Amino acid sequence: MKSKSKFLVCFSFIFATLILFLCFSCTFEGTTDTNDDIKELNGELAVIFDYYSKAMTQNDPSIVKDFEEALCKFDEKYGSNLADKYHREYNEYTSRLSSGTSYPALTDMPFNIDGTVYLSGGDSGVVSSVISFVSPKATAGKYYHGGSLDLNKFDPTNLNVPSIQTAITKGAGYETAQDWMVKANVAVLKPAVVVNSSSLDLSQAAMDYYCDPNNTTMQYGFFANYVNIFNLVTKEDNYYWYCTKVVWRIYNKLGIDLDSNSSKIDWTTSGLYDMVVAYYYARYFYNWSLAKSKINEYMQQARKTIVLAEEIYFSPYLVKYYEQIRNP
């Protein structure tokens, strides 16, 4: 009997060990993603964000088709519905477009206060549908672009003189008053606090180094590396620039943080959120709880790191004193 008991105990142990091994093996094979898989997924989503960056700086209608195709390919492979959501945004956006492709200049737009912040959105043209899709939308103007006036550069007799510090294709750069007067939706905000003019001049001069047309040792972008879109560009980084980061930097040197992180902005209304959701559900398809945790973690980090035009719009350190919405 003792031999039989020993045999049964030994057999049970071996059997249990075998079951655990098989379960572990199946779990390992079915629920882990290789580095190649991750790189491929990152690269595919990076392509989508690359088109978004191009839409921010290039008025090329072909971007819309390329962006749509990239979404469709991603959906087909990972079972997401990004393309459908974009189509709804596109149809809604184009239905609001005016019959023309431009707007008359806003001749009453003020350019008289140094450091004034300008925000724009809803620009005419289908390319803007890409920008509108990706960005959160919490204001009537659906603002996504920004710049700040250097009054010392402004010439009221020549509105085409570069005088507004912002970001362009190369990275940090200049726009003109004329550029802003023809935008569809625009909000103009002045400091709500007393700003030392000498300190503001020094901050603007520091930004001139990066805005200089001859300084091309930089890139435009929200991500420090398009191979890994989750490497968000910090506000302190000096190589990657986007428009509202330029505005933020000017005021930050004055001790003013314009990134309000306002609760009025619902990030879940953005295509950015939709793409992050699609990414993590594709990567962690075997553990939705983990995917949700990663999504929340990413969005919290993005909210703190990226400074949106609409976050600047709701800053308590600025007060709006002019606004025109021509493409709501």
pLDDT at residue 115 is higher than 80 = yes
Give the pTM.
0.85
Domain boundaries, the chain: 117-325
pLDDT(230) > 80: no
Rounded distance between C-alpha atoms, residue 186 and residue 145, angstroms: 9
**Residue 40 pLDDT:** 86
Q: Rounded to the nearest 5°, which phi and psi values hold at 207?
A: -75, -25
* CB-neighbour burial class of residue 224 (10 A; exposed 0-12, middle 13-18, buried 19+): middle
On the question of pLDDT at 104 being above 70, the answer is yes
Q: Say how many Å lie between the first and final Cα of the chain, rounded.
A: 87
Return the amino acid letter for 21.
F
pLDDT bucket at 52, cuts 50 / 70 / 90: confident
3-state secondary structure 201-213: HHHHHHHHHHHCC
Q: State the average pLDDT over residues 16-42.
A: 49
CATH classification code of 117-325: 3.90.1720.10
Does residue 28 come out as left (phi exceeding 0), alpha (psi in the -120 to 50 range) or beta? Answer: alpha
Grade residue 21 by pLDDT with cuts at 50, 70 and 90: very low
